[in-house]
Structure 1
Amino acid sequence: MQNQSRKPAYIYTFASTQEELELCKLEMRSFFGVQPEGHCLKSSTCIDPSRSPFMKERIEILYEGNEVEDIVQQVGEIDIGPDTFKIIFLKINDLDDSEQISYDERRKIERRVGWPFKAEADVRNPDQVFGITVHEGRWYFGNYTKAEPVYLHHVKKPREYSTALSTRVARAAANIAVPHPAGVKAIDPCCGIGTVLVEALSMGIDIAGRDINPLVVDGSRENIAHFGYECDVKVSPIAEVNGKYDAAIIDMPYNLYTHATPEEQLDIIRHARRIADRAVIVTSETMDHMIIEAGFVIIDRCTVRKQMFSRQVLVCE
């Protein structure tokens, strides 16, 4: 049976290390509202795959069917004018290991699907790229978008801080806090050198930064300017932050190095509750009791591990 998708739908693929698998799944739940079982997911939600440190690619579905031949019969309808094209068979799919399609067979399928195209193929520098994959027993074909690892461009900063989050974790935390940025106002009230700010700004998130340390605020401003972004970053304790925000992102592990007392930690969380409806708190310590005492409810969570060190990422509302 041949079916053309009537409403926008997408296939996403993603991958992570075992240490970051929980973070990857939490980010996917934040984006799509569902728990992915494997390494691909079908959704009607449109996300730029370059936003995620874990997404690899996306297909915007044009055609689907039960067999490859169903796709072959439909692609002849595509008219891309004088443009050249390329078709990519997604290596990441939900097939069992025993059912995986070999490299040679994938190339044959790409050629078979491309044969009806009324255009010239160009495997090196095509004008348009299409993808084909199998998901939950059905075949899907559509516009292909490869994720760009934007966060890697942010690794080399003019100013560094040994306890800052990695750009991958910072980017995922920003996505978890603000999965859909339109109309959302966010704040990082303990922004340090701006690792979270840079990642958020690169994704078009409206975010402000505050920190009590003038030196790291200077570093944050320098890092943000280095990558060509602009942001409202000021020296200020969270207690003096006014206004209302939709989301706050707070990296708490710095407290281990500034010797913040439990009372000071609780105060930060209480003020986060005052200024934000939602908070993503990253901590190397167990803080559930403080978060609950501050008036938040933990609605989701995960643990990120790196060798012997681990951080908890807590989604609070």
Structure 2
Amino acid sequence: MTYLYLLKYPPNEKELCHMEMRALFDLTPIADHFFSERMIPAGRSVFIKYRLEIIEAADSFAALDAKIKKGAYRFEKFKMLYLPIKGEELHYQDWLQQIRQLADTLDGSFDLHAPKQYLGMTYTKGKWYFGKVDVDNQSWSRFQDKPNTYSMSLSARDARILVNLAVREDYSKTLVDPCCGVETIVLDGLGQGLDIEGYEIKKNIAYRARQNLVHYDFERDRIKPMDMHLVTKHYDVALLDIPYGYYAPITHEEQLALLQGCHRMADELVLVTMVRMDAELTSVGYTIVDHASVIKMKFQRHVYLARRK
């Protein structure tokens, strides 16, 4: 089965979007859409707007309509969508008439207000496509309203990106956030059914992080009030939003110690930092697999995927 993925991202997150697509699909998109035989739900990524499961393709709209008619496809309570490709958008009246014609060709029933499934039509590079549409359900957003948070903590959206970079296609991986704070990464990991734990050295913050877990009916013991340097358990991937001294001073040596602790705890590292740390990662024994930079307002963040040498 072939799928067409349509992307959405602000210009400042293009590098990060491409980094995630490399992790999930082993490709770097050259446009805001691409084809793949990998089946990944649209709601898994904050950057995927639609996934079209291609049922029929043709060189003209008339040929596409004929193929659908010949296939005698039946769908109950469906809604037909037009999926525009940037730079190849069809005129409004044209695509509106075309999706109505396809809807009339199909057997079954349509429901514009409470559909049970979405179907879609699109056009790109001389080809017309029809299929089932998976729409982004923003499953990550359920953790936006957690009871406890801090202004500088990672957003639920950012946490989803980092977890995707860590897991890629292997949901059997064990994950750890060694400096979890009030915790967003652990929440998202647990929300995806992953084996993930967090450590927080400050007991009052760990208490608030545990409150967040309980609020979403997760086990509170997934977060432990403990210094990461005392942890003996081994994990597949560590995810670290490295402290940078916004609330409390931290030295460069202390940041290096955190990287060394992650190197000891896990085989891979997903790192978020305010400055480039290529040399530091290399010095503690990592090979940098991928990197992206993101500018948000006056802040710049660097995201690394690194692996132990």
The TM tier, using the shorter chain, reads over 0.9
Match of 1:80 among 66, 74, 82: 74
CA distance in 2, matches of 1:68, 1:241: 61
Contact 1:163–1:254 at 8 Å: present in 2 too? no
TM-fit CA distance, 1:110: 0.5
What residue in structure 2 maps to residue 302 of structure 1? 292
Task: Summarize deviations over 1:67-98 as a string: whole Å, max 9, x none.
Answer: 222321222324436x232221112x15x2xx
Is structure 2 residue 219 aligned with structure 1 residue 225? no
Task: Summarize deviations over 1:209-260 as a string: whole Å, max 9, x none.
Answer: 1111111111111112212333611022221222321211100135443322
CA distance in 2, matches of 1:31, 1:140: 23
TM-fit CA distance, 1:284: 0.5
What residue in structure 2 maps to residue 272 of structure 1? 262
Match of 1:212 among 201, 204, 221: 201
Output the amino acid matched with 1:102: H
CA distance in 2, matches of 1:202, 1:71: 40
CA distance in 1, matches of 2:160, 2:272: 12
CA distance in 2, matches of 1:136, 1:295: 46
CA distance in 2, matches of 1:226, 1:74: 50
Is structure 2 residue 234 aligned with structure 1 residue 244? yes
Output the amino acid matched with 1:240: L
Matched ranges for 1:180-195 at <5 A = 180-195=169-184
Contact 1:181–1:206 at 8 Å: present in 2 too? no
What residue in structure 2 maps to residue 29 of structure 1? 22
CA distance in 2, matches of 1:135, 1:223: 45
CA distance in 1, matches of 2:25, 2:134: 18
Contact 1:253–1:285 at 8 Å: present in 2 too? no
Match of 1:196 among 182, 185, 199: 185
Moved over 6 A (4+): none
CA distance in 1, matches of 2:134, 2:268: 31
CA distance in 2, matches of 1:52, 1:251: 20
Say what the alpha-carbon RMSD is for the aligned residues.
1.8
What residue in structure 1 maps to residue 2 of structure 2? 9
Contact 1:157–1:223 at 8 Å: present in 2 too? yes
Contact 2:141–2:156 at 8 Å: present in 1 too? yes
Contact 2:21–2:28 at 8 Å: present in 1 too? yes
Contact 2:244–2:274 at 8 Å: present in 1 too? no
Output the amino acid matched with 2:265: I
* SS, match of residue 62 in structure 2: helix
* SS, match of residue 204 in structure 1: coil
TM-score by length of 1: 0.90
Match of 1:287 among 271, 277, 280: 277
Task: Summarize deviations over 1:247-300 as a string: whole Å, max 9, x none.
Answer: 111001354433222222111111211221111100012222111011001111
Contact 1:253–1:284 at 8 Å: present in 2 too? no
Task: Summarize deviations over 1:136-168 as a string: whole Å, max 9, x none.
Answer: 432221111110123333222211112201222
* SS, match of residue 291 in structure 2: strand
Contact 1:238–1:271 at 8 Å: present in 2 too? yes
Contact 2:259–2:281 at 8 Å: present in 1 too? yes
TM-score by length of 2: 0.92
CA distance in 1, matches of 2:59, 2:119: 19
Contact 2:172–2:194 at 8 Å: present in 1 too? no
Query: What is the percentage of aligned positions where both structures have the same residue?
Result: 31
* SS, match of residue 29 in structure 1: helix
CA distance in 2, matches of 1:90, 1:180: 26
Higher alpha-carbon deviation: 68-77 or 158-167: 68-77
What residue in structure 2 maps to residue 43 of structure 1? 36
Contact 1:245–1:275 at 8 Å: present in 2 too? yes
CA distance in 1, matches of 2:67, 2:179: 53
CA distance in 1, matches of 2:132, 2:101: 17
Is structure 2 residue 129 aligned with structure 1 residue 140? yes
What residue in structure 1 maps to residue 92 of structure 2? 103
**Residues 203, 135 of structure 1: CA spacing in aligned structure 2 closer, same or farther, 3 A cutoff?**
farther
Matched ranges for 1:110-125 at <5 A = 110-125=99-114
Contact 2:179–2:201 at 8 Å: present in 1 too? yes
Unaligned runs of 5+ in 2: none
